[in-house]
Structure 1
Amino acid sequence: MMMYISVCFFSGVWVFCSNRKHLLATLLSLEFIVLILYMIMCNYLNEFNYEFFFVMILLTFSVCEGALGLSILVSMIRSYGNDFFNIYSMLEC
């Protein structure tokens, strides 16, 4: 089980590091990494019979991160017309 979780986590990190063109693919890989971290936290807390309060805090932060990412994506699409990173100038943003 731990091998499967580590392969999934590192594949999410690899996609996040290698994909630099679209913001949507980057956001999806970040959400995938957060879900894997959620699974790791649940397994760890379940193994040692701890409370799942920290999992709720992690889910709250991941929802806030997802909402912030989607709002940035919508504002970029409305202002520029697409979500390609290569057409943006850092001086304009």
Structure 2
Amino acid sequence: MNYMMVFFMLSGIIVFCSSRNHILLTLLSLEFMVLSVYLLLFLVMLIYGYELYFSLIFLVFSVCEGALGLSILVKLVRSHGDDYLSSVSILSW
């Protein structure tokens, strides 16, 4: 089971590092990594018998992170017309 979690995390990191065109793919890979960390955290807390309140707090923060990323994506699409990284310059923000 641990090898599967490591595989999920590594595949998310590989997709995050290799996506150079679209910001949406980058956000999706970040959410995939957050979900794999959440699943690992949930399993560790369940195995050792800890309370699951920390996993709920982690899930709330990950939802806030996803909402912030989507709001930045919507602002980018409205201002530039697409979500390509090549059309975005740091000086234009």
TM-score (norm 2): 0.97
Residues 33-91 of structure 1 deviation map (CA, whole Å, 9 limit, x = unaligned): 00000100011001100000110111010000000000000010000000000111111
1:54: which partner in 2?
Answer: 54
Name segments (4+ residues, structure 1) moved above 6 Å. none
Q: What is the Cα deviation at residue 20 of structure 1?
A: 1.7
Q: What is the Cα deviation at residue 30 of structure 1?
A: 0.4
- How many aligned residue pairs are there? 93
Q: Quick one: percent identity of the two aligned structures?
A: 48
TM-score (norm 1): 0.97
Distance in 2, matches of 1:73 and 1:87, equals 13
| 3-state SS of paired residue (1:27) | helix
Considering only aligned residues, what root-mean-square deviation do their CA atoms show, in Å? 0.6
Higher helix share: 2
Q: What is the Cα deviation at residue 18 of structure 1?
A: 1.2
The aligned amino acid for 2:10 is F
